[in-house]
Structure formats: C-alpha cells, structure tokens
Amino acid sequence: MSFAFVFPGQGSQSLHMMDGFAAHAEVKATFDEASSVLGEDLWSMLQAETPEAINATVNTQPLMLAAGVATWRAWRAAGGATPSLLAGHSLGEYSALVAAEALSFADAVRLVRLRAEAMQQAVPAGSGGMAAILGLSDDDVRAACADAAAGDVVEAVNFNSPGQIVIAGSKAAVERAMEACKARGAKRALPLPVSVPSHCALMKPAAERLAGALAGLEIKAPAIAVLHNADVASYAEADRIRDALVRQLYSPVRWTETVQSMAADGIALMAECGPGKVLAGLAKRIDGNVKCLALTDAAALSAALVELA
C-alpha cells in the first residue's frame, strides 16, 4: 500500500505528550539521546506541572523533533512498513529528514536548538506577531497583507488548509492586516500566542545563521523522498536540501499544496507521526479522500500497524 508519514511542528506540544508510549523503550531512549546532546533533561520538561518550559521556543523545537523521531523509531521497531513519502509541517520537516536518514538525529537536535535561538534573537520580544485568518481565500489574505503593510512586514506564512491561513510580521502590521482581513469577509482573525513571527521576511537574519550551521553539516540523499515546505518538492542533493531548509525559515509553509501533491501521487492514507492530531485534521479539510491516522500513543500505533500492513 502506498502511504505517507507526516510530522507535526511547533504548537502540537503538550505536557506528558509521550506518556502513551511508555511501553516502547525506543521512545525514552530517543529522548535520552537528545538530552545528552543538549546537556539537559528533555523528558523531565514533559513531566513538569506547568508548560512554561516546553512552550519556550528553544525547548519546543528539540522536544518536537525528539517526539517525531521517537514515534518513528517506535513504528519501525514494531515492524511498521516504510512509507512512500515523508513531509513535516515547518519544524516537522527536520523530523522527516531524520526519518529519511538524510540528517543524523544528533545533528538535527543541535540544528533545531540553534534554529530556535536564531529565530528568537532575530526579532525583539514583543515586536512581532502572528494571527490565524479563518474563512478567507489565499488571494484575499495576501491582498489584505499588502494593503496593511504600510512599509512594515506582514505576510501570509502558513497555508494550512483552504480557509485557514496564518499571517506573520511586525506586531502593528499584523494587527492592521487582521482588520483588513475582517473587512474582506474573514470569519475570524485570531492573534496567536507566539514569541516569534515565523516564516516571514523578519526571519532572514535567522536564516543566515542557519545557513552557516548547515554549511558544515553532513546531509545524505534521503532514503525516502521528503517534500519540502518551501517548494512542495523533494531533493536528493545535499546543497538543495540545505537551501530548502534555509528558505523555509522566511518562506510560507505550503501545507495545502503538500497534501494535494501527495493525493495527486496516489497517496490515500497518511499517518501523523508525533503528538497531537493537527495534521490529521488539516488533511481532512484539504482532501476528503485522504485519510490521516494520528499515532498519538501505543494503542493508535498498534491500530495503524494493522491498517498500514
């Protein structure tokens, strides 16, 4: 059976999100490996009483990378079949590249920590913003951002599903764009509680730092094709993968097109490899003919093993 695995990104984290995999030794071992690389206990962060630590960008990114890779390793250790395609939403692209054996896990852990630090440092705290726009076409959201920019940065950055788009940029411009979207007929315009305006032009300084880190990193040809956010295309060459990761920081996440591309390639079944069910929900809105399972715990993984056998 031809199927795909997709990896969630920042925003899907929650306390105790991996507790449902307690019976899978690979999961805790993966977190132990990431913790050793960073010199801090990531698993303990998930067991805390409050979510402040896991919601800090510098922690969220390695935590979500570890969660995606841990779930993938549990799948493979249980005899799970190899998917035809991989993709990840934003940060999830790094989990996909590790699963595809293009990036080593240790290198990816160091890379996403640097990525998070660079993103946080690129824009002073409180000066950037993001908002979800619901019920408006892609073109109308783009036009509203253009109208509202007034010399500042505000762009459509996450095309998550038809009628669900995220904008990002300077705080004042995002607020103006929210009003412009509502004036054009958006059902809702909701500010998002984030500290970094991801995937917009304000991230270009962070992209430069990321490019420097990637330059000396070994990247192999993926054993499984990975669709990249920036292009909805897969690459075998290391330099093209590096370039796609750099551009991803300041380019839109084209998730609607990613799912549509998979469907066009004959993928009718997908599995969300990591905590939460965000991508499963988006897949249903993008193409009702594509079924997406969510591997949120050991029971869900076992059920998927049967369905994807």
Q: Which residues are part of the catalytic machinery?
A: 90, 199
The span from the CA of 302 to the CA of 208, in Å, is 42
Q: What value, to the nearest 5°, has the Cα angle with vertex 113 and ends 108 and 119?
A: 120
The span from the CA of 110 to the CA of 209, in Å, is 13
The span from the CA of 250 to the CA of 295, in Å, is 29
Alpha carbon distances (Å) from 282 to 43, 154, 161, 255, 295: 28, 24, 6, 9, 15
Given a contact cutoff of 8 angstroms between Cβ atoms, the answer to whether 110 and 121 are in contact is: no
Given a contact cutoff of 8 angstroms between Cβ atoms, the answer to whether 170 and 152 are in contact is: yes
Task: Return the DSSP state at 150.
Answer: T
